[in-house]
Amino acid sequence: MSTTGRNNGALAGKSLLVVGGTSGIGLAAAQAMVEAGANVLVVGLGQQDSDDAAGQLGDQAITLTADATDPATAPRAIDLAVEHFGAIDGLYHVAGGSARSRGDGPLDELTDAGWEYALKLNLTSIMYSNRAAVRWFLQHKRGGSVLNLASVLGYDPSPQYFATVGYAAAKAAIIGLTRSCAARYATADIRFNVLAPGLVATPMSKRAQGNDTIMHYVHSKQPLDGGRIGRPDDLAAAAVYLLSDQSTFVTGQVLAVDGGWSVADGQYEHH
């Protein structure tokens, strides 16, 4: 399961919010946070996922079934966390996903609906949660840590197999939003950082996982650890670090947890 035993206690006494925390990367992070001593509220879209997450996370966590693209969700989640835990100390926004089925794709094939959906799902939802968190921190004169999930595709494209320009634009914009906020709120001790994964084995990446040609490419594009697709728990220790007091002097940074994606060529099969 999780590989974060070395972080035990790093989050003792912290109360954290994970938006998109009932499956995949978010759930792995929430598990690591609980193991590191935190109280955690996880927000997820599906009731079944929320129920399953609650069972896995135990009594240090509570779940909320809600849509991250609804502007009321993050304030509601913060209120619920404060009601149960007394405060919040950090936010990790993971929620997002592919808009390929809605019309996202290469620019010449991109539909207006695909563009709008990609931005709403991957960028606007982050603005909503980050805004709610920073308002709460400022109102209560508390520092805190905000962590956003982007993607290596935001700055290191892979046009042959992953050409969804709306998704890439949104993930790049997350970095801009995060760094802008990091600069603005540093004097209030509110930190903003980004995790940027490569290809990770989650429900969103099923298309790629089921394509032998793409997986051959990923084997060379993510050469670490034998050349493999990422696992959700590969990012968990980094999330614990950036939400803990171990990273008190870190803000405005983009940490790629990508198996080497951003420094490797990646080899295409020739036919």
The pLDDT of residue 206: 87
Residue 40 maps to a domain:
yes
* Residue-number span of the structural domain to which 119 is assigned: 7-261
The pLDDT of residue 74: 98
Residue 75 maps to a domain:
yes
* CB neighbourhood size of 138 (10 A): 13
Residue 268 catalytic? Answer: no
Residue 266 maps to a domain:
no
The pLDDT of residue 203: 83
Residue 271 maps to a domain:
no
**pLDDT beneath 70: ranges in the chain:** 1-8, 270-271
The pLDDT of residue 158: 94
The pLDDT of residue 271: 56
CATH code where residue 21 lies:
3.40.50.720
pLDDT in tens, 184-214: 999 999 999 999 999 999 988 989 999 999 9
Residue 113 maps to a domain:
yes
Strand partners for 193: 147
Residue 56 maps to a domain:
yes
Beta strand residue intervals within the chain, DSSP E: 15-19, 39-44, 61-65, 90-93, 144-149, 190-197, 254-257
pTM: 0.95
Residue 159 maps to a domain:
yes
Active-site residue identified among 117, 167, 185, 217: 167
Give the number of domains in the chain: 1
